[in-house]
Amino acid sequence: MNFQENFNNHLKQYIFSNDNYLLKERQKIFNKINLNKFDKKNNESLKNISISDLSSFNYFYQPSKEKPTLEISEKNVYQINLVNGKCPDYKDENIEIRNILIKDIELFKSNNQKDTNDIVADLNLVFLNSGILIDVNQKSKIKICLNYKAEKDFTIFQHNFFNFFKNSEVIIEENFYLTENTINNIYYNINIEENSKIKHNIFQDFASSNKLLLTSNTTCAKKSSFSQNSYNFSKGFVRNFHNAKLNGVFSKASLKGCFLLKDDNVCSNKTHITHNAENCESDQKYKGILNNISKANYYSNTFVSKNAQKTEGYQLSKGILLSDKCSFFSKPELRIFADDVKCSHGSTIGPVDENSLYYLRSRGINKKQAMKMIISSFIKDDLIDLDKKNIDRINKNLTQYLSTI
């Protein structure tokens, strides 16, 4: 199906398709994209993406027999099992969970009229068919596991809203159980109120016929902190585009990710942090290991507005290239309009360090084993904060990956 057909034929299947305001917005965005013909020039959102995947996919979404569920197996641990972007409704003293309503999207759209030049995010609204809203109440200390299930051939365009009210402490863990031939375009609005501490761990390890495209926009109020880690061990395409705005003084945001790529796999990464207030800290770091003919890109951006004095902002990209034919394109950007700031960016991409290999081998470790030691250390560097189950899971993926080098 071509883009126009997808748009026309499936208009009926959208949620909120009877809403005039949204229909107009969708039409507007659709026309803009259609007019630009997915021009890759100067558009970071199209880097390393095959245009046919965005335009001429087979849109498919329908009600499912399987029902989403919620489990609270341990106190304050919420396991939410989504099915095709739908969640169960639930409410207690800590949390409210529900599917999104038209007013959520309308409110979002009226607050976000600026064109971001992000085609994937635009498509999310054009084809929107699901989404969940989670409110975490003040002072709640909880863990939320979001388990996304996508049924075969589904194309899911989902918009999630997470609101963390004052003084909350939340670990939010996301897992993707994608079956076969699915497209998952998920857009997040994450709002973190004063003094809240949020950890966001995203595990991506699914089969090659699936695609996952994530876009998140997080705002941090005074003294809040947001720490996001994405772990991409997928055989299929993954996009990680994550943005954070530090709007309140003494807030912190860290957007990090790592990926293991092989064969002809591709991933596209971007982080963007805006400092709008004084005394804030930010960290952006993506690192990856690439083999065969795999490809990755990482755009990182720090924007420091005029009033954001005493900013600290760090950007880093690291890559190990295991073959001559893989590539990792990295582009850091810094725009600073305040004068009292500490910012830096760095990038080290290349083959496994020869001197390190020599050193390990000179102690009797064989070359392959030495490579494995260096590569695992590269990934494990950042795993300090995870629980044992997730460390085991990462080790398993790593071992699997290393067995083929």
Phi-psi map region of 224: left, alpha, beta (phi>0 left; psi -120 to 50 alpha):
beta
Which residue in the set 164, 231, 378, 401 belongs to the binding site for other proteins (CB under 8 A)? 378
Contact flag: residue 381 with other proteins (CB under 8 A):
yes
Number of chain positions touching other proteins (CB under 8 A): 23
Which residue type does 405 have? Answer: I
Binding range to other proteins, per CB under 8 A, among 14-22, 27-35, 305-313, 350-358: 350-358
Contact flag: residue 347 with other proteins (CB under 8 A):
no
Which residue in the set 65, 363, 388, 389 belongs to the binding site for other proteins (CB under 8 A)? 363
CA 234 to CA 229: how far, in whole Å? 15
CB 298 within 8 A of CB 315: no
Which residue in the set 20, 42, 362, 403 belongs to the binding site for other proteins (CB under 8 A)? 362
Binding range to other proteins, per CB under 8 A, among 188-196, 206-214, 376-384, 388-396: 376-384
Least Å distance, CB 377 to other proteins, is 3
**Beta carbon nearer to other proteins, 148 or 231:** 231
Helix (H) or strand (E) holding 390: helix 388-402
The DSSP-derived string for 209-276 is T-EEEEEEEEEE-TT-EEEEEEEE--SSEEEEEEEEEE-STT-EEEEEEEEEE-TT-EEEEEEEEEE-
Which residue in the set 23, 51, 293, 365 belongs to the binding site for other proteins (CB under 8 A)? 365
Q: How many CB atoms lie within 10 A of CB 349?
A: 18
Least Å distance, CB 328 to other proteins, is 19
Which residue in the set 91, 342, 367, 396 belongs to the binding site for other proteins (CB under 8 A)? 367
Binding range to other proteins, per CB under 8 A, among 232-240, 273-281, 342-350, 364-372: 364-372
Binding range to other proteins, per CB under 8 A, among 4-12, 16-24, 263-271, 358-366: 358-366
Listed residue (47, 44, 36, 41) closest to 3, CA to CA: 36
CA 109 to CA 124: how far, in whole Å? 12
Question: At 370, is the secondary structure helix, strand, or coil?
Answer: helix
Contact flag: residue 377 with other proteins (CB under 8 A):
yes
CA 110 to CA 258: how far, in whole Å? 34
Pairing of strands 132-136, 155-164: parallel
**Beta carbon nearer to other proteins, 322 or 360:** 360
Contact flag: residue 264 with other proteins (CB under 8 A):
no
Contact flag: residue 233 with other proteins (CB under 8 A):
no
**Beta carbon nearer to other proteins, 2 or 366:** 366
Which residue type does 309 have? Answer: Q
Listed residue (266, 335, 274) closest to 298, CA to CA: 266
Least Å distance, CB 348 to other proteins, is 12
Contact flag: residue 355 with other proteins (CB under 8 A):
yes
Q: DSSP secondary-structure letter at 10?
A: T
Q: Which residues bind other proteins (CB under 8 A)?
A: 353-356, 358-367, 369-370, 373-374, 376-378, 380-381
